Each structure stands twice: as structure tokens, then as C-alpha cells.
Structure 1
Amino acid sequence: MYAHSTRSHIPQPPHSAGTPYKGLRAAIDPNQIPSPIDTIEADKEKWEGQAYMTLPGKHPPLSTTDFVAIDQGNTSPRYIRMSTWNLPSSSRLASDCEIPLAAVIQPFADQDPREEPVPLVETGDIGPARCERCRGYINPWCTWGANGTRWRCNLCGHESEVAPEYFCNLDANMLRLDHLQRPELNKGTVDFAVPQEYWTPHPPPTIRPLYYSMLPEPSTSRRSPTHMDYVFAFDVSQEAVRSGFLQTACTVLIELLYGRDDTIPPCFPPSSRVAILTFDRALQFYDLSSAIDGQSPMLVVPDVDEVFLPSIEGLFVNPVESRDAIYNLLSALPSRHEQIFEIESALGSALSASLAALAGRGGQVVAFAATLPMIGVGALQPLQDESTLYGTEKERTLFEPRDESWKDLGEQCASEGIGVNLFLGMSRPIDIASIGLVATLSGGDMYFHPRFDAGRDGLVLSSQFRRLVSRATVYSCSMRVRTSVGLRVGSQYGNFYESPASDMEFGTMDADKTICVKLEHTSRLDDRQYAFLQSAILYTTVTGERRVRVHNLALRVVSLAGNVFQYADMDAAVSYIIREAISKLHSTRITQIQESLTERCALILYAYRKFCAAAAAPTQLILPEAFRSLPLYILAMMKTKPLKGRNVTADVRNYYAHKISAMSVRSIIHHLYPRMLAVHDLDDKIALPDGNGRIDLPSLMRDSHLFMESHGVYLIDNEDSMMLWVGSSVSPQVLKDLLDVDDVFNVDPRMLYLPHLQTQLSTQVRNILAHRFSQRGHTPRFTVTRQNMDGSEIEFSDMLVEDQNNAAMSYLDYLCLVHKQIHSALTTGASIANNSGFRSMPW
């Protein structure tokens, strides 16, 4: 499209320092080292025109591919991805292969519009059929006997009686005659509507109650499911008002509830009610049901150490019925607090009050905080210089709560079925290690806007808030993963509270949340039989219906290492490895975590050389097909904000640790290796609708300055932020078509979004951005940076993960380092895991 006669590659842009490679560097052409882009593009092309059939025995599409799955009794890889789709038959084989056995589960993942929705099975008063021994749910892999009066569980092998109401005769193939009419017998993923015995039990009294309740004790042991209610809590301290954080939050909530003109539709669940709470040195509640002259009476609780609800009457209202009261209150809050110079705020007390308001029925809390909570429940003091703690035994204290009240608050919210979401817009450290624990344990989200600027951050906050409210969300959730005989669930990673019974408890669960479980062998598996995995999550819908969503997975069992590697899934393995690494921040120094990551990478590749490619010369770098890009992703993990060395504040590390721990597999892959494309070099037909309305997306490029040119314009996107890099020698015509300026000096680096121009290039790029928005449902922060002109270029260059930056090596050097270790182990027989020379290498 915009041809250029000469190729002028750019020098490495300014970046945070990287680690140089010491020793002899192999003469490897950067163009020849494995690239994830080739694999991603080939997979997209493969699944573009065909559907994925879910029966075992095939390679599923990569997580980065938009595919259509047809459920044949095995759940879609959209919901469960395995680190290998061929399970090793023994713990010895699993140990030899070094591939972690893990399942990454996203129970409410957004489906492709072309797929049939998850079927809902009405079970009446008897509830879903379950195994009498292991309590597994009926599924397509169970077998029938005794002419239909008994069924055998595929998980534990126990035979259970069929309830009379559920009985049906069998045909000649030993299948029920109503097999095709029963989704639970032919679909891998189903929802069961469940009776009263599945209702949420009231949690037992706590030893350390965080609020005083004036409500009577419940008369029943279980609570009746009801629609999901929301509490919106606003920080009205001086910092929140001064920065415009309060004004932005109130404006966005009004738009979510009621829309704006004809351009922004409302998206709030029609059956849900809302309560509004404000806090500074005191808590302010509002009776929204009895507004006088459009003003809602305010009820003040001055004692933030002993929290109680002044009244439950009028606290929750339907936003449509009480529109005037809510609109007037939200419109007046910013101006009402402009002249009140309270510098302190009691966030912990506000969350305790929200817990008290929703206790007994569950719901969702959305809190906006701009100030470190130095008074009330969980009061914290500013942290002293944290930089002196890195590399010492006290480093782990940066990732632990400094007051146990925050942990108690998170656990009590999870037990009550309440999810807490935090929007943070502070100018000083706010101790996310402490306050963020409430969101982590309750299954909520955090949204991080340091040095909040309404003009810069308002658009992103609005997009995040809209996604939070509009995505598929359920509450009062309890989840368990069951396996067939010979396997068990070991560690569990994600944002949840693990109950004493090892169930995962979530206050809320949504379409974006993912959990990860590690599988372990308890006995040898039969390679003539399938192994099975069943995930069941019990939940309440937004509209107040109690259900169980069940995912079933059958997996082939193999006895050869080559077959394990052949069907390995790097996306799922990477997702597990980074979660495991982040979980060690509480107990292990960052440098040691980085060393163990490199060790794991070398061990996996060494295992493949040893058991699958032993005949190759030790000097050859042999990579398994499934793990061709593993060294690059392991290196990228060490360049992420939670795990990288130097110059990252504890708040930033803890925020990204929370975020990555619940990310989907696709988001993790895109976050570790950002998507970059050359905007100036788009084909004339790319990203424009064809005759059928389909849009072909452009190919991506590698994340390195070695492949960039000074006359180019590049877009990079790591799911959290999106940057447009403009080269110093860019063509004036490209600038005119994309940004409506004709000189690089006239480009506005404070631009928040691309201008809407009628040019072909502008249309193409906006179509690409619209496709990405439809994939993730929200807009990341957008920044324009110019070569050698803007400070934000440092952030851009740090996203080029193949370069030497982020206190780590370049991809080429790191590959040499890993290969050197594998070569040493092959030629000397030394153990990689115990090789002290390996651990002393500089990263």
C-alpha cells in the first residue's frame, strides 16, 4: 500500500536496561529462530473454514484462534484447555516428560455467535442424576446396565440406581432410547436447574465479625436465591474529588444505568437493585426510596471502627423506579464534596458495610478508592522505602497483607456470595497487597489507574466499568473439579477462596475469569481407556436462578513420551507455569523464581531431546513442535511486571499478579507476547468487508526492533495497553490518512483514540480495533508515541519482548543460554535441576 524504496531498520529504541549475555554467542540469524507468529497464523488459516469437533484424538485450535466448536460430548477447548491432550499413563512417564499436567478452566467463557448455546436441563425436584459414591454428575461418558435401571460412573466406576422419574429403556447399543433428547447424555457442557437442596447455605458465625448486624437470625439453613444486587461505594475524600476520579465514576455509572442520548445505551441488568454508599472519615448511606424534592436522606455512621447498617429500608432500590433520586444524588456528589477537605478515607469500613448490606443474599460490590485507608477496619500506614527489601528475606512481605482484616474481609465476602471489584485512582501507593486481597479472594476484579487523570483515563475506566456490568456474571459460586480413578487434583490457582473442603468459593464468577488445576497420578492409568475430568460449578444467575454448570472431558492415555509431546498444548502449559510462578511471590525471592522458570524451560526441552530425539547431535537445537516458542514465552514471563527485576513498585507487581492469576489463556498469550502489526504496510483488501461481510485480518509481526523501519507506523497491543509507534521518517501521506496531520511534529502524543477519517487506511485500522474490542469487550489504554521524541517510547520498547530489556536478555541470547545448558546435560550427563553453574548464570 505505501511502498518505500529503501529499508531503514531502526536502532534499538530507549528501554529499561536488559542483561547482556556473557560468553561465546552462537552465530544464529534472528530470522531463523522460532517465532510464535508462524504457528499462530498457520492455526488461524487451518480453522478459518472448518468447525472443531470435540471428540478426543485431534489437535484443538490454539487459544489465539477464533474457532467454532461442535460439542460431541466433550467440552470445547473454549472452556477447558489441557497442557497435554494425551495424558501419560504413569507418574514416572509424566516426570520424564517434565510437562506439567494441568487443566485451565474458564467456566463461563464467551461463545462464538455461531455456536449453539449451552443447553439448560430442567431436573425438577429430584435434581440432576449423580453418582452415589463420588457425587459426579451424569454425563455422556457414563454407561448403562440392568436394562436402564443402573448407570456406571465414568469417574469412579460405581454403579448407581436410576431414579424412577429418570428411567428409560435401552436400545441394542446399550444407549437410552431418549439419548438424543437428553443434552446431559450427549453434550460435554450443560447447565442443570437444581432444587432447594442446592441453595446456598448460610455461612457459620465468624470469630471476628467485621460489622454489627441488627437483622434477625435466618429461620432456614439455606437462603432462597434472588436477583443479584449491587452496592456502589464511592471515595469522597479530597484526593478523589481533586483528581476528577469521583466525577468520572458518577458520570459513568449514570450512563450505565440510564444511557446517554441515543449514542450510549444503558446496560444494567433490569432485575438488579442498587445501593449507594460514600465514605471518607465516616460512612454515608442514602435512602433512595424516599427522596424529598429529589434529594435522598443521608444516614451517617461516624464510627468507622465498629461498622453497622443504620437502616436496611430504602437502601436497595430498582434504578428505573428511583431514577430521579439516583440521578440527582450521583450528579450532586462531586460538587457536594468540593469544599469538604477530608484527606482520609475508610475503605475497609466501606467494604465491611457493603458486606453487611448484602449478607444473607449475596451480590456484587463496586468500590472506587483513591486514598490509602489509614482509618477504620484494616487501617494501614504508608510503606517505607520498598526498594531496600528486594533481594532480601523481607522481599516476600511486599506481597502479603499488612493487616489480617483484609484477608478476613475477602473470605467472608466469598462465603456470603459477594464479589468485590475495586477501581483504584490514587496518586500515592495504596498497598494493593492488602486491599487487593478482598477482590482476589472474592472472585472480583481490580482496575488500576495510578495518577488518575479524567481526560486521559476516563474513556478506559468507562469501558472497563461497562464490561464489568454487561458481561456474563454469576454469584454465590462453589466449584469442584473431579477426576477419574488414577488421577487427583493437586494445586489450584486463581482468584478464589479455597474452603477447608478444598472447594473453590467465589463471591462472583464471570466470563473473563479462569482457574487452573494441577493433576497428579495416584495409580497407573490404562492406555486402552480414556481418563476423565469433570468440572462442576454451582451458582446463582443474575436473575436469581440456582444452577450447576458441568464440563466433561475425556482424554486419551498414552505410554510413550513422543505421544505426550505430540499432543502437548503450549498455551495451557504457559498459562499454568506463570500462575505457579506468581503464586510463589509470597515465599520465594523474584530472582529465584526467574531461575526456576529457566530451569523448567530447559528441563522440558531436554526431556524431549532425551526421549524423542536422542539420535540428533548434541550441538543441534531440537525443539518439539508444540513447544517451539516455549523459551520465548518463558523469557516473556520474566519481563512481565510481577516477575521482572528492578524499578517496579509493589503496587504494580501486586496488581498484575492479581490480574494474570485470573486471565484467560488467550489473554495471557497476548499479554506475554503482544500483538504487533505494521500499519503502514497493510494490503489494499485487508480488514475491509468482502461480498459476504467477512473481514480478513492482517498478519502479525515479531516483537523486535530488528524487524521495524524508521518510515513505519506500528500498532502493538498487550491486552492492557495499546500503543501506536510513529517512525521519524514516516510518509506524510500515511500520517494524513491515519491521523489527519502531515508532519510527525504535528502528531498529538496525548491522543486517546484514532480520529474517524473517511480514508481507506483509517477504516482498515479502525476495523482491526473494532474486532479486538469484540473479542475482549473493553478498550485498553491507547497511546501514540513518536520515535526519539516522546517519553512513552520507553514503555513501547519494553513491550518488544524479543529485545534486550526489562532487566533480562534478548530472545536470541536466552535461546543460546538454554541450548548451552541442554548441550551440557547431553554431553556430560549433568543434571539440569542440580547444575549449580546453571543457577549462577546471569539473567
Structure 2
Amino acid sequence: MASPAQQLPPGWDAQWDAANQRYLFIETATRRTQWEPPVQEASPPIDAHAPSISPPPMAHGKRRQYAAGQTQAYYGTGDGFVDPGYGAQGLQPPAQASTGQLFTPGLAAENQFAAQQQQHQPPQGQYFAPQQEPQYINAPGFGQEPVYHPPNAPVNALADQFSQMGMAGQKPLQLYTTNLLTSPPDPRELARPPPEIRLPPNSSVTNSPFANADPSYQRSTLNAVPTTSSLLNKAKIPLGLVITPYRTLKEGEQPVPVVTDTVIARCRRCRTYINPYVQFIDGGNRWRCCMCNMSNEVPQLFDWDQLRNQPGDRWGRDELNHSVVEFVAPTEYMVRPPQPAVYVFLIDVSHTAVQSGMVATATRTILENLDRIPNEDGRTKVAIVAYDVALYFFSMPPGTSESTMLVVSDVDDVFLPKPTDLLVNMAEARASLEALLGRINEMFQDNHTVGSAMGPALQAGFKLMTPIGGKIIVLSSTLPSVGAGSLKNREDPKILGTSKESGLLQAASPFYKSFAIECSRAQVSIDMFLFSAAYQDVASLACLPHYTSGQTYFYPAFNAARSEDAIKFAHEFGEVLAMPIMLEAIMRVRASKGLRVASFHGNFFVRSTDLLAMPAVPTDQSYAIEIQIEDTLTAPFVVLQTAVLHTTCYGERRIRVITLALPTTSSLSEVFASADQVAIATLLANKAVERSLTHKLEDSRDAVFQKVVDILTSYKSSMTAAGAGASAQLAVSENLKMLPVLMLGLLKNVGIRQSAQIPPDLRAYAQALLTSLPSQTLMPYIHPNFYSLHNMPPDAGTVGENGIIMPPPLPLTSERLERHGLFLIEDGQNIFLWVGRDAVPQLIMDVFNLPNYEVLRGGKTTLPVLDNPFSQRVNAIVQKTREMRRGVYYPHLYVVKEDGEPPLRLWALSCLIQDRADVLPSYQQFITQLKDKVNGSNNY
């Protein structure tokens, strides 16, 4: 390695200061000295004009590493599966078009995998390791799965020319073009990480691999930001962020580092938190903000280790090494002392609620999960209010197991019947709380009252907790019918599928939005658990969680007598109770100079132009933010920072900071190559729901379709040789090839699908999911997973390095269904086991413990765990499906017989979004429509 002196430009000299273990850089003409930290540490740039020793190249753009088993599942290697119809024809590159357009190569490794696969075709008819498992089916053609074949023609010369225009000497992302007409969607594409973020060298002051945000916390629709708004408009791709600030941690994942010394360095001008992308100047005494370039003083204690009471290592500080970090906030970040966690349960005890078993299941679940409710500091408070057409309060004096019921029948003027012992410390009143939860169902067992005073119950809960704030959890089985917020059944089959249908998706009463905003001001969040078998106006009730950063859970036709219903609700309710919540939170997103945060989507209330109020932030809830380019971006990279100030549920005020740095580019080629199709789909799902509420459902669908047309049109005219002329191909960049099928899935989702058969409650609930699910859970919701189980690879359903190995996913078309097969279809909310009518008795016996297909019953079920390898593998796959994603959801399992009940069959088949359904096009028809539009839009 060359000495520093050899690396310096003329006119400078380097001198080693042994006493302080650092280099002194001396300008020979003026003898001006610059400070440099010891060479063994990662060195930040010193000054815009001063030289610095370049640290080793940094591993920005972190790539996800897959274990061998996952790689095999993703690429299909080692299975020996190849499908002549899908691989050989479907994903091979087309011949060169007459326009001269070429299709570009994929990854060499993937081509190599594909070649290996074609050499290892399995014996036909074998579905399991033959020495230990039976051959269920002897039909020809089984044991064959699609192989991923990326295009392997030379790179498009035009795209190559564009791609050379990278900035800051960093090698730009390579653009690969694919033809959608000849490349069927491969579901394994969605498991790939987003395009790499290639920052200029030395962008970060440390060499940390965690210096940029993991996409599970914050991801951008573009991983290279256009330098001008005109370039962004030309690409037609929306610029935005998808943020999941409090995602749950799976086993083995690193927790967010916590800075406990309360030394928080922030920019004086724009209030950005110090992060890995600032610059240290003035001998390390000052730092330059990466957002607004303001020079700020480094806090005195920034380099001091308060724990050991000695000088600290600046370069070891978490905020300079991690993009996601949490600060313990000092007192100046508090308006009041940190609040305790408060839970007020509003339980519907009307006749319907009791008879369905909801009351018994809910109270038992609360009782069983009392020890899981966050209460580390012993301050958590709880209240229980039951309601039908009256309100029932429960006084629980501490130190006794007795409780007293107090009835308020005047629901027009709600008041608290007692000033104390209604909202109690959970630890102090534990005995009376447990006794009460065990008795509530018996108290109302013979209740024949029909009706619901939910509005007054909400007002009562609000009065109980207004001084503190917290979470109201509402459990309701009927349409609110008495007092404030009473609703009427407005479900009208005649307007379903018409332009008036969007009116059913808006709140019927202004009470819910105004009450929710009042709650937001008082730091009260609301979660809704809805159970009605009849119309319940989910659209109106979902307003409450929407504006108070809560969540809606819907259990249509709930009946606890069916164990599957009781288990699903108890599991999800228990997870919500155990969830660590972030209280009295506010969130703000800051962006580099030249960028502006334009609009917000998700569950919160916008308190000022860019301040989002979130009384209680649940884990795994997602938010989408749109960004505009206001001025030309001259910096080589931009920074986007999300800060959430909150109180933990154990009474500590903290600030979670998530920082994402993205390179800028003036190359349209690089803009397309950096596009993240999953983030784009998440943002467009949020925009589609919002448009369906402000306009009409039809407008929402048209906007989604038009956005895809715009992106494809821009790509064709700018990135292909066809230009503005008509083309026989439908070109798009390789990293966006799944966007059309994701948008088709969105158009076919219950939330915005064109249909006159969807009940308003189901549509409103689907819209609530579309606007709150994180990308990891949203993708299967709009693009379900489809697996073949009867002929899955021998290792599928067994334990590998990363848990249960899943079978390779199939394209979402019923062409893959076989009459003698067993298939699993899942969208994160429901799991369907499709059983072909010619399934052999041995398969039915091994999975369902029944003699043959004829005696098998379709519908909601629980699979038996039998003493045979196939049963254990199928059960393991079902269990993994329920557990592999973040969130509380526990999907129901339905057995679907090929010749079974038509509604259930149609529901399962609606997940196969590449098929034609009713008035909705197949994938082939959809991309043909896109091609016609793209060609036609250039001929006006």
C-alpha cells in the first residue's frame, strides 16, 4: 500500500504525529495543517478542498445472501425440473425484431443454472424420493416445473450507450430489456432483492455494510434518482418511499441499535439527524449536513464514552454505522412525562355477539394473554366496558378479586359512573381483572338485546383515557344502531358494479372521522375487530383506525363453534395484545435539497404539512410517501430520512431514525434499471384505493392501467430502437417485468375489482389491507402463491438451513391444475388446498385420513397431522405459510374440491390472476391490451 505522502497531490506533504496517532497533512507553501484520524479507522472526507486518504471501496448496495437451499428453490437447481412449454418456449429470447431491437442478457449464473436443469430431467411420474414415499400419480408430464430462463441475446446498443452515463465514477446499473409478449411472468422474480443502490465511492463516513436502509424498513420506487423533474416525468415512474418503521424481527435478525447516551447531533437548519452520509470538516470539529449543506458543531460529548467515562471511538458510534438507529430522547423531546401503556376494551355483548361465541373467545384470549401485554415497567392500565344498547362499566378495586358492574343506560349523554377503579393498574388489580374476564360471558349469556351503542361506548372509552392516551380495542358483532354514530344498512345490490358503488366505500356518518381526529389529538388509537354475519358498514368503522394509526380486522360470519374461526381470532387477537406498541408518536420525512415530500398514504392524521400524528404505531404497518423533484439535483447522491419520535410501551421516549441514500443520475437508462417493481406496486396500490374514494372505482382502475401504459410507452420510445413507431414487441426493463402482472393482480383484487357481486364490507376491508400491509405481505395479497404438492421436490416440506423448504411457485394459471393433483394457493389471508377429482385414494388417505375423494368435504378445515412423511411435509408447508411473513395474520385453510361448491371453487380460482375471469382479462389479453395502447398512444 502506498504511503499517504505518495497519494497526495503536488504541494502537500504528510507527517505522522506519533503522540496522537494520526497524520498531519501540510500544504508546503503555507504550512497549513489538516487533521486526519488514525489510518486504521475508516476516514471521513475532511473538506471539500483538502485531500484525504481514500478508504477501501465500500460495500454500499448490500446484496442479500441466499443459503444453498434457498438458491435452489429460487432458481430451481438441483430439482431437475424443466417444463418444455414454459421454459423452452415461454422464457427464451425472441428473434431479433425487424425494427432492429435486441433483447438483452440476464445473469450468466442463471443461464448456467438453466443449462444444468435441462440435463437433469427426473423420471416421469415420481413425486417423492422413491425409496420412502409412494408414487401417487402416474400421469405423464408430472414432476416438471418451470425453469427461469432470462433473455440471452446481446445487449441493446442504445441502452448500452445510455448506461455509460453514470455519475461520480460509479459503474451504473446495466439495463436489460425483455419482451413481455414472449416472457411469461415467473413468480420467483418477486423473491429477488430490489436493484442495487450504487452510491459514489466514499459517500459514507464509515465502511459499515449497514450504512444504507434495508428495504424491509424503507425502500424507494427508484434506486437512482433523476436529477430533474423533466427526466422523472419522461420515465413516468412515480418517485416515492415505502416505509415500515416498526417491523417485527424474525429469529436471527439484528435488533435496531440504541444510542443511550442522549447525545443527539442534529442540523441547526433542517433538523436532520446525524447519519453515515454527513461530512466531517474543520479538523473533525464540525459536520456538514447531507441534506442542506449546513455546517454544524459536533457535540462535545460525541467523542466521549459516558459508560466508561473515557474518550470514545467516534467511528464506532451506531448513528455513523447504521441507517436504522434509535436514540433515547432527553427531556427536551417530551411535552410531558412518558405515558404508560393504556388498553380500553370495548366488548359488544348484544345477543348476536354472545351467541356467535365472540364474547367468550375474546375474554378468554385476553385472560390467557395478560402476561404478554407489554408491562415491563408495571405501569400498564386496563379498563373493560361492555355494551349493547346500554353501557356496562366494571369497577375493579385493587387488592381484591371482586368487581362491580355499573350500568349507564343514557347513551345520549355519556358519563363515567365512578371517578376511580374503572381504569386500573393491570398489576395491582390483576386478581379482580382475571375474575371479571372469567365471568363476563356468563353475565350476558341470556342477553336477548339486539342493537349496538358502539358510538357512546367509544365516547366512554375516550373519557376514560383522555388524560393519558393509549389504545381502544373495539370488538363488535353488529351494526351500530343507537346513539352517536348510529348507522343504517345501506347495502344495495342494485348499485354494486355501478358508478355509485364508491359511495358505499366512504363513511356514512361524519361522526367517525371527527371522533377519530379528536382521538388523534388526545393520543388515542383505535383497533377494530369486526365479526358480523350481516352488513356492518366496515367502510365507516375503518375510518377510526385509519385516522388514529390503528388497524382493522374482519371476521365475517364468525362462529366460535367452528374451531377454525375461534383459533384464527384468538391467534390474531393474542398477537395484537402482545405487540409492543409505540405511543404518542409523530413521524416526519426529510429529503435532500431539491426534493419535496408531496403526499402521504396510510393510517395516520396529517397534523401539519409534513407531520404525521400516530397515537399508537402498530408493528408491521406500512406507509407510502410520494416525492417531487423541485430543483435540479446537483449532488452525486440524495438522502431521505424518516424520524419517528415516540414513547415505548415501557415508558421511554425514543426517536427511531431511518436513513436512505440514493445516487442521482441524468441517464434515463439508469432510472429504468434502478426501478423497484415491488415498491412501485405498493405505492400504486395505495394511490388506487385513495382514488376510488375521491373519485370512482372505475377511475381508480383506469388510473392503474394508464400508469402501466405510460411506463411502457416511455420505455419503448426512449429505450428501444422502435422509438415512436409501432412495434411487434412489448418491451420493458428486466427489473420491471413483473409490474404488469402485479398491476393485473391489483385490478383483480377485491379492493378495486370490477364486479357487481362483491359485498361492500369485503371491499372496504380489502382496501384497508391494501393501504396498510407492508410490501412483504402485500405482494402475495395481490399476486398469490401457487404450489404443486403431490409432485413437489423431495426436500420441500422438510427442514433446511433456513427452516422449512417451500416448493417452487407456479405461474398463476389454472392450466397448471391437474385432475389427479393436490395444490396449495395462498394470498397471505387465506390458504386453499385444491384437490383434483381424480386424486388417488392413497393421497387422500395420507393427507386427510379419509378413504377416497368422494367422502372428502370441502370448506374451512384443520388438517390432521398423520404418521406418514407426506402428511408431515404438507402440514409443515401450511404452517410455514402462516408464519413466514411479518404480521399477526393467521390464514384460514379451505379444502377446495375440483367439483365441489361453486362459490368456494370460484373464490380459489380468483387467486389465479393470469386466467380470464368474468369480465376481467387473462394475463395474455392484458398485455395485448397494453401493447395496443402503447403502439396506439404514439400515433395521435
Q: Give the alignment's TM-score, normalised by structure 2.
A: 0.76
Question: Match of 2:138, as an amino acid?
Answer: S
CA distance in 1, matches of 2:741, 2:139: 30
1:253 aligns with 2:366: yes
2:186 is aligned, of 15, 33, 36, to: 36
1:181 aligns with 2:319: no
CA distance in 2, matches of 1:445, 1:421: 5
- Counterpart in the other structure of 2:480: 373
- Counterpart in the other structure of 1:86: 224
- Counterpart in the other structure of 1:363: 470
Distance 1:113 1:162, change over 3 A: same
1:514 is aligned, of 608, 622, 628, to: 622
- Counterpart in the other structure of 2:604: 496
Distance 1:548 1:663, change over 3 A: same
- Counterpart in the other structure of 1:785: 896
1:244 is aligned, of 332, 346, 357, to: 357
CA distance in 2, matches of 1:318, 1:576: 41
CA distance in 2, matches of 1:351, 1:144: 52
- Counterpart in the other structure of 2:540: 434
1:673 aligns with 2:783: yes
- Counterpart in the other structure of 1:107: 245
Shift of 1:469: 2.0
Larger RCO (alpha carbons 8 Å, 6+ apart): 1
- Counterpart in the other structure of 1:417: 523
CA distance in 2, matches of 1:418, 1:625: 46
Alignment identity in percent? 27
Distance 1:420 1:487, change over 3 A: same
Shift of 1:551: 0.5
SS in 2 for 1:549: strand
- Counterpart in the other structure of 1:142: 278
SS in 2 for 1:476: strand
Conservation of the 8 A alpha-carbon contact between 2:692 and 2:698? no
| Larger displacement relative to structure 2 (355-364 or 567-576) | 355-364
CA distance in 1, matches of 2:897, 2:821: 11
CA distance in 2, matches of 1:693, 1:661: 30
Question: Match of 2:741, as an amino acid?
Answer: L
CA distance in 2, matches of 1:489, 1:821: 32
CA distance in 2, matches of 1:183, 1:702: 43
- Counterpart in the other structure of 1:822: 934
| Larger displacement relative to structure 2 (176-185 or 452-461) | 176-185
Shift of 1:438: 0.6
Shift of 1:352: 1.7
CA distance in 1, matches of 2:609, 2:711: 33
1:474 is aligned, of 579, 582, 588, to: 582
Conservation of the 8 A alpha-carbon contact between 2:789 and 2:807? no
- Counterpart in the other structure of 1:310: 417
Distance 1:725 1:57, change over 3 A: farther
| Larger displacement relative to structure 2 (500-509 or 482-491) | 500-509
Q: Tell me, which stretches of 5 or more residues in structure 2 are unaligned?
A: 1-126, 128-134, 143-178, 202-206, 306-310
CA distance in 2, matches of 1:419, 1:119: 27
Matches within 5 A, 1:183-222: 183-199=318-334, 222=335
| Cα displacement string for residues 613-672 of structure 1 (whole angstroms, at most 9, x for unaligned residues) | 134871122221111122211111111112012211222221111121011011111101
Shift of 1:693: 7.5
| Cα displacement string for residues 579-614 of structure 1 (whole angstroms, at most 9, x for unaligned residues) | 101001222121222122111111101111111113
2:872 is aligned, of 763, 766, 781, to: 763
Q: Give the alignment's TM-score, normalised by structure 1.
A: 0.85
Question: Match of 2:279, as an amino acid?
Answer: T
| Larger displacement relative to structure 2 (505-514 or 326-335) | 326-335
Conservation of the 8 A alpha-carbon contact between 1:8 and 1:709? no
| Cα displacement string for residues 34-93 of structure 1 (whole angstroms, at most 9, x for unaligned residues) | 21314246x38xx9xxxx9987489xxxxxxxxxx9853111111011111011111011
| Cα displacement string for residues 299-356 of structure 1 (whole angstroms, at most 9, x for unaligned residues) | 2222222222223422233445434422332222222213232211111111222122
- Counterpart in the other structure of 1:606: 713
CA distance in 1, matches of 2:542, 2:588: 24
CA distance in 1, matches of 2:493, 2:541: 17
| Cα displacement string for residues 755-804 of structure 1 (whole angstroms, at most 9, x for unaligned residues) | 11121112212222333333235421111111112241121011111111
SS in 2 for 1:584: helix
Shift of 1:112: 4.4
1:4 aligns with 2:137: yes
Conservation of the 8 A alpha-carbon contact between 1:54 and 1:71? no
Question: Match of 1:154, as an amino acid?
Answer: C
- Counterpart in the other structure of 1:621: 730
Conservation of the 8 A alpha-carbon contact between 2:475 and 2:528? yes
- Counterpart in the other structure of 2:697: 590
Conservation of the 8 A alpha-carbon contact between 1:70 and 1:115? no
Distance 1:54 1:327, change over 3 A: farther
| Larger displacement relative to structure 2 (611-620 or 804-813) | 611-620
Matches within 5 A, 1:310-329: 310-329=417-436
Shift of 1:735: 1.5
1:722 aligns with 2:831: yes
CA distance in 1, matches of 2:417, 2:276: 53
Distance 1:694 1:445, change over 3 A: closer
Question: Match of 2:369, as an amino acid?
Answer: L
Conservation of the 8 A alpha-carbon contact between 1:57 and 1:556? yes
SS in 1 for 2:270: coil
Conservation of the 8 A alpha-carbon contact between 1:55 and 1:73? no
- Counterpart in the other structure of 2:54: none
Shift of 1:686: 2.2
Q: Tell me, which stretches of 5 or more residues in structure 1 are unaligned?
A: 10-28, 59-68, 170-175, 200-221, 259-265, 831-843
1:75 is aligned, of 207, 213, 217, to: 213
Question: Match of 1:225, as an amino acid?
Answer: P
Conservation of the 8 A alpha-carbon contact between 1:234 and 1:278? yes
Paired residues, number: 751
CA distance in 2, matches of 1:112, 1:460: 21
1:640 aligns with 2:730: no
Question: Match of 1:135, as an amino acid?
Answer: R
Shift of 1:487: 0.4
Conservation of the 8 A alpha-carbon contact between 2:529 and 2:554? yes
- Counterpart in the other structure of 1:24: none
Matches within 5 A, 1:151-162: 151-162=287-298
Conservation of the 8 A alpha-carbon contact between 1:226 and 1:544? yes
CA distance in 1, matches of 2:628, 2:190: 30
Question: Match of 1:405, as an amino acid?
Answer: F
Matches within 5 A, 1:513-532: 513-526=621-634, 529-532=636-639
CA distance in 1, matches of 2:200, 2:602: 29
Question: Match of 1:273, as an amino acid?
Answer: K
| Larger displacement relative to structure 2 (356-365 or 792-801) | 356-365
CA distance in 2, matches of 1:275, 1:267: 13
CA distance in 2, matches of 1:584, 1:771: 35
Q: Computing the radius of gyration over CA atoms, which structure comes out larger, 1 or 2?
A: 2
Conservation of the 8 A alpha-carbon contact between 1:53 and 1:71? no
1:232 aligns with 2:345: yes
| Larger displacement relative to structure 2 (512-521 or 697-706) | 697-706
CA distance in 2, matches of 1:712, 1:53: 40
2:769 is aligned, of 646, 655, 659, to: 659
| Larger displacement relative to structure 2 (563-572 or 413-422) | 413-422
Distance 1:409 1:160, change over 3 A: same
